[in-house]
Structure 1
Amino acid sequence: MAAKPVPREEKRPRSFYALSAFFALFVVFLYGPVVTILTLSFQGPNGGLTFPMNGVSLYWFERLWSGRGTVDIGTAFSRSLILGLVVMALTVVISVLAGLAFRKRFAGSTALFYVAIASLIVPSIVVSLGIALEFRIIDDLFRPLLSSIGLVSRRGNSLGLFTSGLGAHLSWTLPFGLLIMFAVFNRLDKSFEEAARDLGASNWQSFRFVVLPMIAPYLIGIALFGFTLSWDEIARSSQTMGSTNTLPLELAALTTTVTTPDIYALGTSVTAVSFTVIFTTLAAFIILQKRRQRRSLPD
Structure 2
Amino acid sequence: MREARPASFYALALFFGLFVLFLYGPMITILVLSFQGPQGGLTFPLNGLSLHWFGSLWNGIGVIDIGAALRRSLWLGVVVMLLTVVISVMAGLAFRRRFRGAALLFYVAIASLIMPSIVVSLGIALEFRILDDSIKALGDAWEIEAVQRGYTTAMGLFTSGLGAHLSWTLPFGLLIMFAVFNRFDRRYEEAARDLGATPWQSFRHVVLPIVAPSLIGIALFGFTLSWDEVARSSQALGSRNTLPLELRGLTTTVTTPVIYALGTVTTGISMTVIGICLALAMMVQRRRRRQGTDAGRGML
> What TM bracket, shorter-length normalisation?
over 0.9
**Match 2:94 to one of 97, 101, 108:** 101
Deviation for aligned residue 1:154: 5.0
Match of 1:41 among 10, 34, 37: 34
Kept after mapping to 2: 8 A contact 1:143/1:154: no
CA offsets per residue over residues 207-241 of structure 1, 9 Å max, x none?
01110001101000000000000001000000011
Q: Structure 1 vs Structure 2: percent identity of aligned residues? A: 70
Query: How far apart, in 1, do the equivalents of 2:104 and 2:145 lie?
Result: 40
The aligned counterpart of 1:31 is 24
| Conserved 8 A contact 2:228-2:244 | yes
Question: Who is 1:4 aligned against?
Answer: none
- The alignment status of 1:83 with 2:79, answered yes or no, reads no
Name the structure 2 match of 1:139: 132
The C-alpha deviation readout for 1:173-214, integer Å capped at 9, x for no partner, is: 000000000111111111111111122111111101110001
Give 2:224's aligned residue.
Answer: 228
Partner of 1:265: 261
**2:194 alignment counterpart:** 198
Tell me what 1:110 maps to: 103
User: Does the Cα contact within 8 Å between 1:47 and 1:53 map onto a contact in 2?
Assistant: yes
Distance, in Å, in 2 between the alignment partners of 1:151 and 1:204 is: 45
What is aligned with 1:254?
250
Per-residue deviation at 1:128?
Answer: 0.3
Q: 2:158 aligns with which of 155, 162, 175?
A: 162
TM-score by length of 1: 0.94
Q: Does 1:53 align with 2:46?
A: yes
Residue in 2 aligned with 1:174?
A: 170
Is 1:129 paired with 2:122?
Answer: yes
CA positional deviation for 1:142? 2.2
Which of the two has greater helix per residue? 2
Could you tell me how far apart the structure 1 residues matched to 2:61 and 2:126 are?
A: 36
The 3 A distance-change label for structure 1 pair 150 and 206 is farther
TM-score normalised to the size of structure 2?
A: 0.94
The alignment covers a number of residue pairs equal to: 292
Task: Give structure 1 regions of 4+ aligned residues with deviation exceeding 2 angstroms.
Answer: 66-71, 142-155
CA contact (8 A) 2:132 2:152 kept: no
**Aligned-residue CA RMSD (Å):** 1.4
Structure 2 distance, partners of 1:133, 1:70, is 29
